[in-house]
Amino acid sequence: MVVRFSHLKHGCCLLLLSILLSSCTKPEAENVQLPQNADSNNPQAAVYNTQLGIGYLREGDIPRAKAKLLLAQKQDPTSPDVVDAFAFFYEATGNLQQADRYYAKAISLDPKRGSSLNNYGVFLCKQGQYKKSLTYFAQATSDPSYLNVAATYENAGLCAEEIPDQQSAEKFFILALQNNPALTTSTLELAEINFDKGKFSLASKYLQRYNQLAKPSSESIWLDLRLAEQEKDQQRVNADAELLKENFPDSDEYKQAKLSGLI
């Protein structure tokens, strides 16, 4: 399988829809005039300072990140976004006990909030608590105001694969694509699942769709190589082998291809 925990999607702090947390950026206009010294009751400043905190965290500036998040906490202590941001801060800095506490606290502030439920599910999955994570993903997708249901179904599929529970994983990836047909990870995972089930024609269809959505990856080329081998298409096998060798010589897929004797 192509499971990579880096594909798991957090609900980005301060946004109403879940997107990759890595895409949250520090606001460029740091000269925006906001009353950043206010101690409380300043949600607008809290939003801004939380964005700054996550931005500094991504840059590796831990002290400034924490300072901004502490300020945001003073300005809006009951904001689930601020609490979620602090949870991610503690996770990123290795304090997993505090991260767990803050993710749970964010949910306690708004128990039906999809993005917070998704975030905690992602955290639990990363800690190996796969089955427990699925319960939070299920709750997240039940939030009618939650906009990024597709990403949460994809997260659930990735975690189900780790159990492993391929039947559930397939169901989640299908639901993910029903909500957002452009999800590349779910598309490639379904191609892999169908290949493993011997459904080579369906695997090819998903792989073709993936190649329409994304650039070739080591995973997609390795899958195409195996499909070509099944179809006795030696010319395509050779072409895929050359692509792996030239573009992904350090990948696990290239190593697998060598071990299998297909390269």
Residue 104 included in any domain: yes
- pLDDT given at position 40: 67
Cα 177 to Cα 138: distance, rounded to the nearest angstrom: 16
User: Does one domain contain both 112 and 202?
Assistant: no
Mean pLDDT of 26-55: 72
User: Does one domain contain both 10 and 138?
Assistant: yes
Residue 241 burial (CB count, 10 A): 19
User: Does one domain contain both 116 and 196?
Assistant: no
Q: pLDDT grade, residue 3 (50/70/90)?
A: very low
- pLDDT given at position 39: 58
* Residue with more model confidence, 44 or 19: 44
- pLDDT given at position 260: 85
Mean pLDDT of 100-128: 97
Q: How far is CA 122 from CA 32, 182, 221, 224, 259, in A?
A: 33, 21, 28, 30, 33
In which residue are the tokens 């749970």 written?
104
Q: pLDDT grade, residue 6 (50/70/90)?
A: very low
Mean pLDDT of 155-163: 97
Cα 157 to Cα 135: distance, rounded to the nearest angstrom: 12
Find the CATH number of the domain harbouring 64: 1.25.40.10
User: Does one domain contain both 213 and 84?
Assistant: no
Residue 196 included in any domain: yes
Indicate the burial class of 215 (C-beta count within 10 angstroms; 0-12, 13-18, 19 or more): exposed
Residue 32 included in any domain: yes
Q: Does residue 164 have a cis peptide bond before it, meaning omega lies within 30 degrees of 0?
A: yes
Residue 123 included in any domain: yes
- pLDDT given at position 139: 98
- pLDDT given at position 115: 96
Helix (H, G, I), strand (E, B) or coil at 32: coil
**Phi, then psi, of 236 in degrees rounded to 5:** -70, -40
User: Does one domain contain both 124 and 190?
Assistant: no
| pLDDT tens readout for residues 173-219 | 999 999 999 999 999 999 999 999 999 999 999 999 999 999 999 99
Last residue of a domain, one of 148, 173, 190: 148
Long-range CB contacts (within 8 A, 24+) of 89-95: 89/53, 89/54, 89/57, 89/65, 91/123, 91/126, 92/57, 93/62
Helix (H, G, I), strand (E, B) or coil at 211: helix
Residue 122 included in any domain: yes
| Length, in residues, of the chain | 263
**Phi, then psi, of 106 in degrees rounded to 5:** -60, -40
- pLDDT given at position 11: 46
Q: Is the pTM of this model over 0.75?
A: yes
Residue 160 included in any domain: no
Q: pLDDT grade, residue 88 (50/70/90)?
A: very high
Residue 119 near residue 12, CB atoms below 8 Å: no
User: Does one domain contain both 19 and 129?
Assistant: yes
What is the residue range of 232's domain? Answer: 181-263
Query: 3-class secondary structure for 46-99?
Result: HHHHHHHHHHHHHHCCHHHHHHHHHHHHHHCCCCHHHHHHHHHHHHHCCCHHHH
Q: In the chain, pLDDT over 90 holds for what percent of residues?
A: 82
User: Does one domain contain both 144 and 226?
Assistant: no
* Number of domains within the chain: 2
Residue 101 included in any domain: yes
Q: pLDDT grade, residue 262 (50/70/90)?
A: confident
Residue 245 included in any domain: yes
Helix (H, G, I), strand (E, B) or coil at 137: helix
User: Does one domain contain both 109 and 212?
Assistant: no
Residue 42 confidence (pLDDT) above 70: yes
Residue 13 confidence (pLDDT) above 90: no
Residue 8 confidence (pLDDT) above 90: no
